[in-house]
Amino acid sequence: MSLTAFLAYAIALGIAAAIPGPGVAALVGRALGTGFARSVPMLLGLAVGDVIYLTLAIAGLAFIAKAFATAFLVIKLAGAAYLLWLAWRFWTQGIAIQEVEKSAGRRDGIASFLAGLAVTLGNPKTIVFYMAILPAVMDLGAVTLAGYGVLVLLTFLVLFAVLLPYIALAARARMVFTDPRALRRLNRSAALAMTGAAGWIVARG
pTM of the model: 0.68
101 versus 142: the higher-pLDDT residue is 142
CA 149 to chain centre: 21
Helix (H) or strand (E) holding 116: helix 106-121
Q: Name the band, by pLDDT with cuts 50, 70 and 90, for residue 46.
A: very high
- Return d(Cα 74, Cα 66) in angstroms, integer: 14
Q: Name the band, by pLDDT with cuts 50, 70 and 90, for residue 100.
A: very low
Tell me the HSE value of 58 on the side-chain side, using a 13 A CA sphere: 19
Residue whose C-alpha is closest to residue 45's, from 150, 119, 125, 155: 119
**pLDDT digit string, tens, across residues 55-89:** 888 887 655 555 555 665 666 676 667 667 767 77
CB 32, CB 160: distance < 8 Å: no
Neighbours of 1 (CB within 10 A): 16
- Return d(Cα 133, Cα 81) in angstroms, integer: 29
* pLDDT reading at 123 higher than 80: no
* pLDDT reading at 150 higher than 90: yes
Helices (H), 122-179: 124-128, 134-137, 145-176
How high is the mean pLDDT of the chain? 76
